[in-house]
Amino acid sequence: MTAAPIRLSGVEVAFGRTLALTDVTLDLFPGVTGLFGPNGSGKSTLLSVLAGLVRPTSGAAHHSGGPIRAADEGWRRLVGYAGHEPGLYPALTVAENLGLWAQLFDAPVRRVDEMIERLGLGDRRDTPVRSLSAGYKRRASVARALLHEPHVLLLDEPYANLDDDAAAAVSAAVVEWRGPDRVGVIATHGAKKVKAFADAGIILKHGRVVSYRRGAEQLAEPPIATATPGSGA
């Protein structure tokens, strides 16, 4: 991998007349980057661009191996993604879901049990996902994204609906996943939780990067603007 495994250059994403991202230019380096900003600031869209699920209207998103596109099977192999929705089949149990995704992502079977243990899902492993609370679904979603030990981990609000213990389990799983050539991006309102272990922090506002700090700088970041009620996602 190069010094900047992921590079976005002038990325703009428009949904109809609405600009979700405007002129986003940044390099993402190995480590965990917190992605902060109020509702509607473009965090989820940026994660979708990084996953290759949304193609920029203009500008370019590249990784060290080429353009970022979900159509590229090589890129798909590298990515672990947990979006807004859990990405799990409601009729299947937690263990069945993780077992299925493990097979599809070429993860060894033992990872299913490891992630169930790591994320504190042991007492719900045979519960259908549709019967889980929102917090358990979130944990199962993070477990799914980590199953194949991806090189690029993209988590959208992984702390939503989690109590302190569950949030700590998620943080511990991400910290354990972190490696010298791995790039993680966590979009969250829970800035404090991510700042505890993040290597960099990005603040988005109205689809623009208003701050990008790395290393010790980001730890000194002032408190992130909280969500504005009713501002939309």
Partner 1 sequence: MATEATGRLVKDAGNGGFVSKTAALVRKDLRIEARGRDTLPPMLAFTLAVVLLLAFSLPDASRLDRPVGLPTGGTLLLADVLAGFLWVTVLFAGLIGFARTFEVERDGGALDVLLLVPLDRSGLFAAKAVSNLVFVVTVETLLLPVYALLFGIDLGSGWAALVLVVLLVDVGFVCVGTVFSALAAQTSSRELMLPLLSLPALVPVFLAATELTSDLFTGAGLDDVAARGWFTILALFDVVFATAGALVFDFTLE
* Residue 115 engages partner 1 in binding (rule: CB under 8 A): no
Question: Which of 25, 60, 66, 91 is close enough to bind partner 1 by CB under 8 A?
Answer: 91
Burial of 222 (0-12, 13-18, 19+ CB in 10 A): exposed
Find tokens 């966590």 and name the residue: 186
Instruction: Kindly state whether residue 26 participates in binding partner 1, applying the rule CB under 8 A.
Output: no
Where helices occur in 13-81 by DSSP H, the ranges are 43-51, 73-78
To partner 1, the closest distance from the beta carbon of 86 in angstroms equals 6
Q: Which amino acid is at 21?
A: L
Phi, psi of 185 (to 5 degrees): -130, 125
Site string (49-88) toward partner 1, x via CB under 8 A: --xxx-x--------------xx-x--xx-x-x-xxxxxx
Q: In the complex with partner 1, which residue's Cβ is closer, 115 or 209?
A: 115
Question: 1-22 in b/e burial notation, b at 16+ Cβ within 10 A?
Answer: eeebbbbbeebebeeeeebbbb
106 contributes a contact to partner 1 by CB under 8 A: yes
User: Under the criterion CB under 8 A, does residue 221 sit at the interface with partner 1?
Assistant: no
The two structure tokens encoding residue 160: 């939503």
Where along the sequence are the contacts to partner 1 (CB under 8 A)?
48, 51-53, 55, 70-71, 73, 76-77, 79, 81, 83-93, 95-96, 98-109, 112-113, 125-126, 128-129, 144
